[in-house]
Structure 1
């Protein structure tokens, strides 16, 4: 029986030390838990790669055996050594790949989970400002950049470093007079890296911003396809995308040309040094200087080509490293964002009766000139249904978001059963809440998966009870039952059917506080009737906050709150407000 895969090692809290301004140090810390595996991978690589730097020495020995007519026994010994060091490559390569892959994949899954966890903790205001496409790019593309650049850098750098060390050590032992010439390659590479690194980092950062803009544009385009096609605006959307793609192309060309110029400069430099080494070694062997043999000429020439090739590899890694470091910076925009909903250490709520009160609550969005709510005071009793009406921008949705806990008051206090919302763990409070929005949020999967989302260990009968109460059992049966697939975002369902599934999901949670945000505004009359019947069953005995533009849907509310410019201007039942001949009565007319 195959062994179950080990879960990835949990990533330590990144927000405590993640520093996007020091990406190299941050990258090192990301891999710190994997240092034992990386060390093992490095040792395995040194062994598997040994033929590259041992074979020039053995080749020189074989040439000298032939030229100097030494005993054939020495030839067979050299041949046996060559066979052994070549054959060990296969088993040691497998050990190397396993150690490196395990460490890299652990960091990959840990980073993605850390980003996903952070996105769940960040405020709703942050998510409203950030494009979903950009955030998706950080979880998918940026993590992939870090992983692939690390893997390729480790692989290529280990090859280059082991080759350089082997060449320098053997040269220092066999022909130490040529060691200073070999060492010229190292400072030359350092000069090139220092000269180009800053400009390369800037180019990679610019290219990353263009890619993020493209991701946001593509995400927006795919989301708007139904509207675009319905209004024959395909050409306009393609033109908008085309301008974005052109900017990505131009930025990519500039980056590629810059990297190509960098690589060509390095190649020319080291090829000239290689030619100088070959000529120098041949001259020394021809004149008998330093006792250099014919085999030494081949060895020195090969080693210098390997050395210059290794340094060139290290130089060409600079763009790849810069790309990975830029992704470390990019992920930092999420991982160190401070707009968090902080629940740790706060009091856990074990039960909710449903009494909600606003005490002189004022709220203003960061980018707004005026408050969205201003000095709002409202007491909602447990089990009461309160509807909010008013023109767009009057503060209705802001109130709902504050009841959910998505927004915190700029001033004033919101209390749940007498407890300030700022003092309680909102996650525990939301277990007693259900939200039915204007656009039902369904995911690709079965009816059962969508209805029981967030609720576990429910029997099929409980699910059917919720579907019957939501007037959804009929169409679910026609689709094939609880395991029928509804398509991405409920594509196989009508708007009314999606809403009834959302109501079934809310019913099965048995909430104490219910939020209905324009739950029937986008439905036809027949769908609205079915949804309204389901909502009435859902609202029974629960504290309910309703926002609706259709006044016909809120006549049965215990209280109707009329809002304008972030303030409450009228409060009362449907009949009381009509008799008052105020704003509500004007809306009815």
Structure 2
């Protein structure tokens, strides 16, 4: 199935959600028209049946020609037979359109997330974005389907029924226009009061769920202190409250349900009796068949009006989900690459010229007047206390954020003029927490490289000190690593991440606390793999343990966003400055 290729976000700026939905369904207008016509045919028995019933009663009562009975019956049978194919056609066109729109909207959201800056992703939680892609789009789909199914059924029944009444018994039309909405409103009011009570009960059940969750999480503490009876007592008190609330709710359901049923049927009986009296005394030209037809239509049309009134919360929920998705699709915080120069080759030379960056336009600077020139192939370590600005420098280097002032040059070219997507093809990052997806080891190492061969994957794993443990696994390269690599140890995950970096042969390498979370043996294996990875490349290393950066060509010591010292390990120790203090603090 073809998905929309262009972004949808330009339609979301200041648009009302209804207009947004109209735009989303623009390519399915013909299908929606076919779906509407199919629904009219498939639903016609609902308003045709009372008319045919009236005709048949009049044929019997007035002793009309018997062939009219066969004609009326045949019409109804034909319409009933058409319900099956037209219903399938409606589902295919309407529900298929809704599904296509949902898929296209999810695709647009995912594309937009890839375009939004890292700053945006640092402010908005991943779970919130996941909810927008899954739950909000699902709400839109459900709301559209229910609105179409229920709304079309109600509208066509109302339109068809009123048209038949206007044609057959026009004098009864004013009564329907007044009584039907009034009866529907009364029933709706009763159901609204009932819904508020259901909402209260739902909250109490949620409170019980919280209590059970607390109990399960506290089981080790409960057992250790012999408090099982106390824990059970807390839950049982909540269970008793839910039991009492549930019984009260059942009684209220019965109370309001019975009242609504009695009210609707009482009004219907009154309507039937009134129509019968009018026919009996010939106050209006109404036949016996018309009396039955009008009585049936009263119940049918009142139900349709009630369904229409009940659509409001469903539609509101769907439109709110459209707004929620629009928050992502119209977010202005984009990484702009359109029209910028493509990067076809990287030697690895980098120069920071007076770079300052503020995450908040008026807030304090995370990096201030950062000046550093790095020739190709040099290894630079960034050290300093938490909040010194190390991660900000890495984010500037990767292009996740832009300098507030100053500039960064890549092989002499201002990075603000470059397409950063093409630049990143020559860059690899090994973070502190390696991120693996739920796939095979082969797929994780060759991520984004579908044509890579097995020999290349094995070579990357060998250089990353990972091939030995991979070959011991039952499935080898085809072993599923689990969600976020859960089936592997921390050291194994990190070596897979290094293999992923190696296989790309990057010119610039970023190592962000790549060994800080590992035990001593794993750190030694990972450090050996990183030493191979760093050869012949421009490398930026951030490390908390100073022992891991002593072999760097230069060490940049940062304090409060500024460069405090620059030099090799031995030279910085001889100076007795900030680096020496950091070293002494770790030894202590």
Query: Deviations 1:478-535 (Å, cap 9, x if unpaired)?
Result: 0132111122211221111111100000000111110000001111121111111111
Matched residue SS, 2:435: coil
Q: Which residue of 2 aligns with 1:455?
A: 449
Q: CA deviation at 1:272?
A: 7.1
Give the aligned partner of residue 86 of structure 1. Answer: 80
Residue 503 of structure 2 corresponds to which residue in structure 1?
508
- 1:585 paired with 2:580, answer yes
SS at match of 1:522: coil
Is residue 52 of structure 2 the alignment partner of residue 72 of structure 1? no
Contact 1:514 1:542 in 2 (8 A): yes
Quote how far apart the aligned CAs of 1:449 are. 0.6
Distance across 2 between alignment mates of 1:42 and 1:534: 64
How much does 1:70 deviate? 2.1
Corresponding residue of 1:285: 279
Alignment check: 8 A CA contact 2:109 2:329 kept: yes
Q: What is the deviation of 1:369? A: 4.4
Tell me the equivalent position of 2:239.
none
Matched with 2:516 is 521
Q: Which residue of 1 aligns with 2:568?
A: 573
How far the C-alpha of 1:188 sits from its partner, in A, is 5.8
2-structure distance, mates of 1:76, 1:446: 69
Name the structure 2 match of 1:181. 175
* Alignment counterpart, residue 536 of structure 2, candidates 538, 541, 547: 541
- Whole-Å Cα distance in 2 between the matches of residues 517 and 189 of structure 1? 69
Matched, 1:420 2:414: yes
Cα deviations by residue, 1:312-363 (Å, 9 ceiling, x for unpaired): 1100111111111111111122111111111112111111111111111111
Separation in 1, partners of 2:396, 2:554? 19
In 1, the alpha carbon distance for the partners of 2:144 and 2:260 equals 22
Whether 1:303 aligns to 2:297 is: yes
Contact 1:352/1:432, CA 8 A, preserved across alignment: yes
Q: Deviations over 1:149-202 (max 9, x none)?
A: 10011011111111111111111111111112222368769999xx9xxx99xx
Structure 2 CA distance for aligned equivalents of residues 265 and 436 of structure 1: 67
Change (3 A) 1:276 1:16: farther
Equivalence map 1:143-222=2 (5 Å): 143-184=137-178
Distance 2:136 2:262 in 1: 33
TM-score, scaled to structure 1: 0.85
How many Å separate the matches in 2 of 1:560 and 1:266? 79
The 2-side partners of 1:265 and 1:430 are apart by 68
Verify the 8 A CA contact 2:7 2:112 in the aligned structure 1. Answer: no
**Which of 2, 7, 12 pairs up with 1:18?**
12
CA RMSD of the aligned region, Å? 3.5
CA distance in 1, matches of 2:326, 2:265: 40
Cα distance in 2 between the residues matched to 1:123 and 1:188: 54
Aligned to 1:319: 313
Indicate if the aligned counterparts of 1:37 and 1:103 stay in contact, CA closer than 8 A: yes
- Structure 2 residue 338 is matched with structure 1 residue 362: no
**Does structure 2 retain, via aligned residues, the 8 Å contact 1:172–1:179?**
yes
Aligned to 1:70, the other structure's residue is in SS state coil
> Aligned partners of 1:84, 1:371: CA distance in 2, in Å?
77
> In the TM superposition, what whole-angstrom CA distance separates every residue of 1:109-137 from its partner, at most 9, and x where no partner exists?
00111111111111212212222222111
1:101 positional shift:
2.0
Which secondary structure state, in structure 2, belongs to the residue aligned with residue 184 of structure 1?
Answer: helix
Distance apart, 1:94 and its partner CA:
1.0
From the superposition, tell whether residues 94 and 385 of structure 1 become closer, same or farther in structure 2 (CA, over 3 Å). same
Moved more, 68-77 or 570-579: 68-77
Q: Secondary structure at the match of 1:435?
A: strand
Contact kept in structure 2, 1:402 and 1:409, CA below 8 Å:
yes
Asked whether the 8 Å contact 1:274–1:308 carries over to 2, the reply is: no
> What is the CA–CA distance in structure 2 between the aligned matches of 1:266 and 1:15, rounded to whole Å?
46
CA distance in 2, matches of 1:171, 1:518: 78
Give 1:456 deviation, angstroms: 2.6
Task: Give how far 1:379 is off.
Answer: 0.8
**Contact 1:266–1:315 (CA under 8 A) maintained in structure 2:** no
Cα offset for 1:265?
A: 11
Match of 2:33 among 39, 49, 52: 39
Once residues 139 and 159 of structure 2 are traced to their aligned partners in structure 1, the CA distance between those partners, rounded to angstroms, is: 29
State the secondary structure of the residue aligned to 1:570. strand
> Partner of 1:482: helix, strand, or coil?
helix
**Partner SS, residue 431 of structure 1:** helix
- Distance in 2 (alpha carbons) for counterparts of 1:27 and 1:48: 26
What is the CA distance between 1:588 and its match in structure 2? 2.3
Separation of aligned partners in 2, 1:265 and 1:188: 16
Q: Structure 1, residues 368-402: CA drift from partner, whole Å, max 9, x if none? A: 84211111111111111100011110000110011
CA distance in 1, matches of 2:54, 2:30: 37
1:19 deviates by 4.7
Aligned length: 543
Q: How does 1:119-518 map to 2 (within 5 A)?
A: 119-184=113-178, 274=268, 277-366=271-360, 369-479=363-473, 480-518=475-513
Q: How far, CA to CA, are the matches of 1:439 and 1:47 in structure 2?
A: 60
Gaps of 5+ in 2: 236-241
**Preserved CA contact (<8 Å) 1:189 1:315:** no
Q: Is the 8 A contact 1:44 1:93 kept in 2?
A: yes
**Retained in 1: the 8 A contact 2:515–2:527?**
yes
Show structure 1 runs of 5+ residues with no match: 1-5, 243-248
| Partners of 2:180 and 2:298 within 8 A in 1 | no
CA contact (8 A) 1:20 1:330 kept: no
| Conserved 8 A contact 2:440-2:481 | yes
